[in-house]
Structure 1
Amino acid sequence: MRLILASQSPRRREILSKFFKNFDVIPSKVSEESIAKTPEEHAVEVARKKACDVYSRYGGTVVGADTIVVLKDKILGKPRNKEEARKMLRELSGKVHKVITGYCIIHEGKEITGYVVTEVKFRELSKEEIEWYISTGEPLDKAGAYGIQGKGGVLVEWIKGDYYNVVGFPMKIILELKNLGFKLS
């Protein structure tokens, strides 16, 4: 069975490689736009579009995922610049938000879709802490302008749920692949 990760995320690749040695990485070419009504539906819709795009071209078993940060039903995507990152970090400071990863696995022509939600609480951040974190460059390619697995971990007070989901690839996907017959390595 050929396993394909439909993502260019180095974090997803790293997590998947902890459990499965043989897989290909083929990023999808679809837009992350969505007409979904809820953040959960948005994440699943985008993950499905990614998986379907790659599956239509390569077949195999394809995993698509999309991770979003949600604060009071507002999706915080990847910041386009430092000012957007600064604004997002100020919004998240001292608050609980959700990290939602939608996923779609296409296996033998059948789709398995779902999503995982993890709650994350940020500490109250000072202006200096926000400026320091922005100066690291880390926030600019991550949903919600932070990466818990890197220096952004210092911003977090607590999490409730799957840590790997906050990184962008929940354990639920690993277990789904195991249930489909992929052997853990």
Structure 2
Amino acid sequence: MDHWPPALSTAAPALLLASQSPRRRAMLAELGFAFETAAADIDETPQPQESGADFARRMAETKARTLARPGMTVLAADTDVTLDGVILGKPRDRAHGLDMLRSLSGRSHHVHSAVAVMHETVMEVIQTTTQVDMGEIAPAEAEAYWASGEPADKAGGYAIQGFAARWVRRIDGSISGVIGLPMVETVELLRRFGVTPQPVAAA
């Protein structure tokens, strides 16, 4: 059985982000971390009766294990959206994307994010769940939004940091978790593995 904390060298471990997401790359860079990136080729199909939180955790853990390398610290994350407990996934096509927006209009939903950090055989996971209250989304606005291309690859069919921000009435939880990487929790978790951001240069 592995023991906590993991045995780390005095040098900062090399960091691998298990994602090709431009959003996650930008967020991690903004935090001041130096890292490499790689995509994990895994099956991202939810299991029957799997909750959004459990699905996000399983995906993050699987991505981290898939890309584990000797001497490397791997950071993996997953974010999903649930409405009435049902995982929405990413839009398959235009009709599916517009149907998602209609279902979210004027209602509350939850966004589950999980972050897994793995070094050698030791893994730690943190999770956040954020409630997002949406205002009404007019059909013409939904059509224009889909045509913009922004929601095509987003869980739940929208990006809170983009055009869709105009529909968000209230957020209870981590907004960075909704975007795809809960920043406070990620920094805390990486610090436990000896991975720290670079000092911010004075302006």
Identity of aligned residues (%): 37
Residue 174 of structure 1 aligns with which residue? 187
Deviations 1:101-139 (A, max 9, x none): 122110242110131101101111111111121121111
Does 2:154 match 1:142?
Answer: yes
The answer to whether the Cα contact below 8 Å between 2:115 and 2:127 also exists between their aligned partners in 1 is yes
The answer to whether the Cα contact below 8 Å between 2:40 and 2:66 also exists between their aligned partners in 1 is yes
The answer to whether the Cα contact below 8 Å between 1:34 and 1:46 also exists between their aligned partners in 2 is no
Query: 1:151-162 alignment to 2 at 5 Å?
Result: 151-162=163-174
Deviations 1:48-98 (A, max 9, x none): 11110000x565110111100010110011101111110000000001100
Aligned residues between the structures:
184
Aligned mates of 1:118, 1:61 — CA distance in 2: 27
Tell me how far 1:183 sits from its aligned partner: 2.1
Tell me how far 1:155 sits from its aligned partner: 1.9
Does 2:33 match 1:21?
Answer: yes
Residue 115 of structure 1 aligns with which residue? 127
Question: What 5-or-longer segments of structure 2 have no aligned partner?
Answer: 1-12, 199-203
Question: What 5-or-longer segments of structure 1 have no aligned partner?
Answer: none
Aligned mates of 1:7, 1:183 — CA distance in 2: 19
Q: Which has the higher helix share?
A: 1
Does 2:53 match 1:40?
Answer: yes
Query: 1:12-91 alignment to 2 at 5 Å?
Result: 12-35=24-47, 37-55=50-68, 57=69, 59-91=71-103
Does 2:145 match 1:133?
Answer: yes
**Superposed CA RMSD:** 1.4
The answer to whether the Cα contact below 8 Å between 1:48 and 1:64 also exists between their aligned partners in 2 is yes
Aligned mates of 1:140, 1:153 — CA distance in 2: 16
SS in 2 for 1:116: strand
The answer to whether the Cα contact below 8 Å between 2:70 and 2:120 also exists between their aligned partners in 1 is no
Question: What TM-score, normalized by structure 2, do the two folds share?
Answer: 0.86
SS in 2 for 1:174: helix
Aligned mates of 1:64, 1:25 — CA distance in 2: 10
Residue type of the partner of 1:65? A
Residue type of the partner of 2:25? R
The answer to whether the Cα contact below 8 Å between 1:43 and 1:100 also exists between their aligned partners in 2 is yes
Residue type of the partner of 2:74? V
Deviations 1:143-177 (A, max 9, x none): 00000111121121111111100100002112211
